[in-house]
Structure 1
Amino acid sequence: MKGSILAMNKNKIVLASFVVLTVVTSLSACRDKESRGLEYARNMYDNIAYKPNRANKNFADGLTNQTPPPNTDPIGFVKYEYANTKEGYEAAGLNLKNPLPKSPQNLLSGKHYFTVFCAPCHGDQGDGKGHLVQIEKFTGVPAYHGDAASSRGGLMKDLSEGKIYHTIMYGLNNMGSHASQLTPDQRWKVVMYVQQLQQIQ
């Protein structure tokens, strides 16, 4: 009997000590709002690099983000010099040529990008009957072959590679620009595949 009372008192003492320790720890953690508590591997969250939108004493204007020097381009940037106008479209049609060789690998890659980005509207066969057209989300999507007319004049099957590239770059009518989704090489691969679809009878 005496032993069980002693064991109950030990349990109460341990529980009370735990509660007191928890309360003291919690209150001490709330004391300093800037404190992050116990810091482990501080360099993982407190980096030495300046954050882009923060002040920086190393530059005259006091900002970390700086305007690039004049006449410079980002690494990997490819300049596209044809404006999003009817004239730019016609000039691209005359002057732009696909720099990639026509190979089975490039055609297969072009088919992949076409399936992902173009087929939902234009259809797998380029017939203008893609999934989004069938559920009546969009209408008037032209086919690449047959007697389908381009909204800019002429037949879709006669569009040059430069005109197709220009349209992928800027979009047209309901079709938005795909410049942010496809790199220049990927666009040219899509152009190559579209030109293959143009030959379907």
Structure 2
Amino acid sequence: MKTTLKITVVLVMLLSIVSCNKKSRRNYQYMPNMYQSVGYEAYQESDAFANGVEAQLPVDGTIPRGYSLYDFEDSTEGYDKAKAELKSPLDSSAVDYDRGKELYDIYCGICHGNKGDGQGTLMKREKILGVPSYDTRELTEGSIYHVMYYGLNSMGSYANFMSDEERWQVVAYVEKLKADLEK
């Protein structure tokens, strides 16, 4: 008796499930946009904005998060102006020569040498030529920072690799290397 009851219950359940699926009538789908969403490309033309792609660009005068203004342009005049006017915002208590050395060894030492003498690994292997020693150059805080920010000649920019504070730490360390070479 128990097995017949169980079999009957299972058959009723199967019949009720099968009877709900009729091929002749349409099944309803609630919130169809969730199941079949429209795919948009990042820079495609869109009716949502009157100006098209221009509306997706940042507003003029805005600064991305984490960046600061740098008022000197990437030109010879900008370099000369930075060399004459730009000073480090770090005071003597904020300068960390150990951190500056660490960053210098990572980013600069391969070309400029760990002592700033222009005898880095790439220079010794003749992969690049003409890296001058710091003691033969007229360097200021502003000129070092400007070159790290924009790059100069075959040296590329390091603005994307180091934060503003890290670049100033390297500037302080380069000035220390220059002073050590001049002794």
What TM-score, normalized by structure 1, do the two folds share? 0.63
**Unaligned segments of structure 1, at least 5 residues:** 1-42, 149-155
- The Cα RMSD (Å) is 2.7
Cα 1:119/1:47, change in 2 over 3 Å: farther
Q: Distance in 1 between matches of 2:40 and 2:96?
A: 42
User: What is the 5 A alignment of 1:22-171?
Assistant: 52-53=42-43, 58-61=48-51, 66-103=56-93, 106-145=96-135, 148=136, 156=137, 158-171=138-151
Task: Tell me if the contact between 2:49 and 2:55 (Cα under 8 Å) persists in the aligned partners.
Answer: no
Q: Distance in 2 between matches of 1:159 and 1:105?
A: 18
What TM-score, normalized by structure 2, do the two folds share? 0.69
Q: Distance in 2 between matches of 1:108 and 1:189?
A: 9
Q: By how many angstroms is 1:85 displaced?
A: 2.0
**Structure 2 counterpart SS, 1:75:** coil
Q: By how many angstroms is 1:130 displaced?
A: 0.5
Choose the corresponding residue for 1:198, options 157, 178, 181.
178
Q: Distance in 1 between matches of 2:144 and 2:52?
A: 46
Cα 1:160/1:105, change in 2 over 3 Å: closer
Task: Tell me if the contact between 1:128 and 1:144 (Cα under 8 Å) persists in the aligned partners.
Answer: yes
Q: By how many angstroms is 1:134 displaced?
A: 0.9
User: What is the 5 A alignment of 1:179-198?
Assistant: 179-198=159-178
Q: By how many angstroms is 1:106 displaced?
A: 2.2
Name the aligned partner's letter for residue 159 of structure 2: A
Q: How many residues matched?
A: 147
**Structure 1 counterpart SS, 2:155:** coil
**Structure 2 counterpart SS, 1:120:** helix
